Amino acid sequence: MPRTVAIDHVRNIGIMAHIDAGKTTTTERILFYTGVLHRMGEVHEGTAFTDYMEQEKERGITITSAAVSTKWHDTTINIIDTPGHVDFTAEVQRSLRVLDGAIALFCAVSGVEPQSETVWHQAEQYHVPRIAFVNKMDRPGANFSRVLEMMRARLGATPVAIQIPYGAEDTFTGVIDLITMKALVFDNEQGIHFDEQPIPAELLSAAEEARTVMIESIAEFDDALLERYLAGETLQNHEIQTALRKATLHSRITPVLCGSAFKNKGVQQLLNAVVDYLPSPLDVGHVHGHDVKHPDKEDTRPPDDDAPFSALAFKVITDPFVGRLTFIRIYSGSLSTGTQVLNVTNEEKKERIGKIIRMRANKRDELDEAFAGDIVAIPALRFTRTGDTLCDTKKPILLENITFAEPVINQAIEAKTLADQDKLAESLHRLSEEDPTFRFHTDAESGQTIISGVGELHLEIIVDRLKREFGIPVKVGKPQVAFRETVSSTATAQGEFVRSNAGKNQFGQVSLEIRPNDAGKGLEFRNELKPGVLPELFAKSAEKGALEALKVGPIAGYPMIDVVAVLVDSAYQEEDATETAYAVSASMAVREAVRKASPILMEPVFEVEVVTPEEYVGEVIADLSSRMGRVEGIQSRDILQVVTALVPLSQLFGYVTQLRSLTQGRGSYTMTFNRYEPAVGR
């Protein structure tokens, strides 16, 4: 079956922003205007189409990325509505990994907020071109030019306004298009109809000035255009748009639009900008990976239906109707039902494609075939996990995996009845397959099941899902900090393993030096032996044993971080040397050296940003100080003050309640993992 939409008419985009900036509301409007919905849902009413989980409807927030496919004119747009809450940043990260472009949404009142910065920098990491939409222009305190300034100052971006607002706050009636130099005035109902009008006389000077700034900003990145502009020639609208698209695709500038999604103003123009300025899979070009047989050698695949098939699995969910669903982004080739593909990440196992599904949030359409550039879901894949590469069995390629934040908070959990105990383990396993930042294990000493996540809300949602989706009532303990251990000095120890078993001798002897590593570098192994002292095979065994031993610290058994194990000496007996003996001897040497290297306990420290009215700043700072927090700065944001501090996670449990009490419910905060620091007084 041939493709129905040419690949240059496909857009894979994400909508990303801080919590409560209006991402889901904007998605609802897009789906309404493109014909997927016949009635617009509302987040505050719990009727948003993409927020289909019960927890999302109740809390009014997005928890899991929702994939929606729709059409605008002759272009297919695959949209992923991503969460804004910091506890679900992994959802944004894995979505950005497979998207070609993104809409960065900013609140016209709050501007660039902490999570806006986080997702912006994630998009930069994956080289995702963006357009920006300044939402909520109808709200009191809306300030379009201030948001542009914040984008420059806080994101290091180059925002270029291609619209300016027609009015603001309660007088916001539409936008002025700086390319066509027309005023677009919306009706006050569903925003479907708008009139093109001449720009009012009182706004003409501001519009002409903004257009000049726009053209100069675009021309900076197009020498031919700049030359003609400086020569005084009149530039055609299509020339401006072509140069704007080129600069956007190279992430040199960010076109900025404005509107009010809730009041249905400006969304159609945003859709036009998605088509005009964001990339198709063809614009993105070849996907880069590695040759499976030679991992050091780069391999590529073009965005072509006739190329060998390659795809990346970026999300796994448990659907109540079709079971386990794996979302994949197809980079090259085509995929038909009934074919076999190779999972090169997971021991080169083969998977059979039974069905191909195009998701419309929680609705689904079955397809016979999918093509390069498509985002689809495949049910019942047995071996595929998040980040795995699926490809042609005869032409394998390994695509870059997705890395996620480590869990920093633990909680004990148990089923209320013995009958549900086995069911609990199975359900936790399914949830961990869906969410790479969620882990669980059984504590060897206490026998308790411990769940781990990136924040209190994260674990709260997990517990809620166990009760609702899996029907398992559970009891949970208080959240506990996921401590780590490291060393603060250098020490050396020798490990020797000599054993005789059934007439066979085993021998291994190594000396290892343990050193502190740079913060954030993790665990490393270095072989500093002179060539010929120990064969490579046994050095690899020593490395395996050393790194395994570093997983358990000497103080309280927490995993170790930022430690270097250096192989400095070894003895070798050719006839008795075994891989096992060298792995065990390295493990023994590490355990002894770590005990001598002044081990210390490390705790996670979070950067906390508190937004509060000025009259409560003193109480907020005093409270943060009482929680062992270090205030890093105070900034003004119009009538509000923003206090930034570094606070140990152990001191932040229940902080939201205390902050509400201190500020009479007017303060809010966000917290982001910053680093591990030595635990004071522990």
Residue 69 — very low, low, confident or very high, per pLDDT cuts 50/70/90? confident
Q: What confidence score (pLDDT) does residue 456 get?
A: 79
Percent of the chain with pLDDT over 70: 90
Q: What confidence score (pLDDT) does residue 329 get?
A: 92
Alpha carbon distance 181, 205 (integer Å)? 12
Cα–Cα distances in Å, from 585 out to 223, 493, 529, 666?
A: 65, 10, 16, 59
Q: What confidence score (pLDDT) does residue 64 get?
A: 42
Q: What confidence score (pLDDT) does residue 79 get?
A: 85
Q: What confidence score (pLDDT) does residue 61 get?
A: 36
Alpha carbon distance 178, 183 (integer Å)? 9
| pLDDT, mean of residues 55-73 | 56
Alpha carbon distance 607, 610 (integer Å)? 10
> 325-353 pLDDT, tens per residue?
888 999 999 999 999 999 998 888 899 99
Quick check: 93 and 125 in contact, CB under 8 A? no
Q: Is a pLDDT exceeding 50 seen at residue 51?
A: no
| pLDDT, mean of residues 651-670 | 83
Q: What confidence score (pLDDT) does residue 319 get?
A: 64
Q: What confidence score (pLDDT) does residue 133 get?
A: 96
| pLDDT, mean of residues 468-492 | 90
Residue 37 — very low, low, confident or very high, per pLDDT cuts 50/70/90? low
Q: What confidence score (pLDDT) does residue 360 get?
A: 65
| pLDDT, mean of residues 2-13 | 89
Closest to 141 in 3D by CA, of 113, 103, 112, 107: 107
Q: What confidence score (pLDDT) does residue 454 get?
A: 79
Residue 474, CB-side half-sphere exposure with 13 Å CA sphere: 31
Q: Is a pLDDT exceeding 70 seen at residue 45?
A: no
Work out the burial of residue 475: count CB atoms within 10 Å of its CB; fewer than 13 is exposed, 13-18 middle, 19 or more buried: exposed
Q: Is a pLDDT exceeding 80 seen at residue 638?
A: no
23-27, 226-230, 565-569: range with lowest mean pLDDT: 23-27
Q: Is a pLDDT exceeding 80 seen at residue 43?
A: no
| pLDDT, mean of residues 394-398 | 93
Alpha carbon distance 627, 622 (integer Å)? 9
Q: Which residue has the tokens 């007017």?
A: 666
Which three-class secondary structure string do you get for 227-253? HHHHCCCCCCHHHHHHHHHHHHHCCCC
Alpha carbon distance 316, 302 (integer Å)? 26
Q: What confidence score (pLDDT) does residue 310 get?
A: 96
Q: What confidence score (pLDDT) does residue 82 get?
A: 64
Which three-class secondary structure string do you get for 464-481? HHHHHCCCCCEEECCCEE
| pLDDT, mean of residues 95-111 | 89
Q: Is a pLDDT exceeding 90 seen at residue 404?
A: no
| pLDDT, mean of residues 262-283 | 93
Percent of the chain with pLDDT over 90: 49
Q: Is a pLDDT exceeding 50 seen at residue 575?
A: yes
Quick check: 119 and 89 in contact, CB under 8 A? yes
Q: Is a pLDDT exceeding 60 seen at residue 49?
A: no
Q: Is a pLDDT exceeding 50 seen at residue 86?
A: no
| CB atoms closer than 10 angstroms to residue 39 | 8
Q: Is a pLDDT exceeding 80 seen at residue 321?
A: no
Q: In sequence order, which ranges of 278-420 are alpha helices (DSSP H)?
A: 281-284
Quick check: 624 and 618 in contact, CB under 8 A? no
Alpha carbon distance 559, 553 (integer Å)? 6
207-216, 437-446, 638-647: range with lowest mean pLDDT: 437-446
Instruction: Kindly state the tokens that stand for 538.
Output: 């046994």
Work out the burial of residue 611: count CB atoms within 10 Å of its CB; fewer than 13 is exposed, 13-18 middle, 19 or more buried: buried
| pLDDT, mean of residues 627-632 | 93
Residue 227 neighbours by CB under 8 Å, 6+ apart: none
Cα–Cα distances in Å, from 289 out to 296, 301, 302, 350?
A: 10, 8, 11, 19
Q: What confidence score (pLDDT) does residue 637 get?
A: 72
Q: Number of helices (H) and strands (E), helices first, in the chain?
A: 16, 38
Q: What confidence score (pLDDT) does residue 322 get?
A: 65
Query: Phi/psi of residue 350, each to 5°?
Result: -100, 140
Quick check: 76 and 13 in contact, CB under 8 A? no
> 589-627 pLDDT, tens per residue?
999 999 999 999 999 999 998 988 889 999 999 999 999
| CB atoms closer than 10 angstroms to residue 209 | 12
Mean pLDDT of the chain: 86
Instruction: Kindly state the tokens that stand for 530.
Output: 């002179």
Q: What confidence score (pLDDT) does residue 363 get?
A: 66
Q: What confidence score (pLDDT) does residue 1 get?
A: 59
> 155-195 pLDDT, tens per residue?
889 999 999 999 888 888 899 999 999 999 987 655 667 88
Distance in angstroms between the alpha carbons of the first and the last residue of the chain: 65
Q: Is a pLDDT exceeding 90 seen at residue 75?
A: yes
> 363-375 pLDDT, tens per residue?
678 899 999 999 8
Residue 656 neighbours by CB under 8 Å, 6+ apart: 669
Cα–Cα distances in Å, from 308 out to 4, 342, 606?
A: 20, 12, 45
Residue 414 neighbours by CB under 8 Å, 6+ apart: 421, 424, 448, 449, 474, 475
Cα-Cα-Cα-Cα torsion 2, 97, 323, 51, nearest 10 degrees, comes to: -100
| Spacing of C-alpha 427 from chain mean position | 24
Global pTM value: 0.72
Closest to 211 in 3D by CA, of 223, 195, 199: 199
Helix axis angle, 267-277 to 237-249, nearest 10°: 70
- What's the order of all strands across the beta sheet hosting 504-516? 491-501, 504-516, 563-571, 523-527
Residue 221 is inside which H or E element, if any? Answer: none
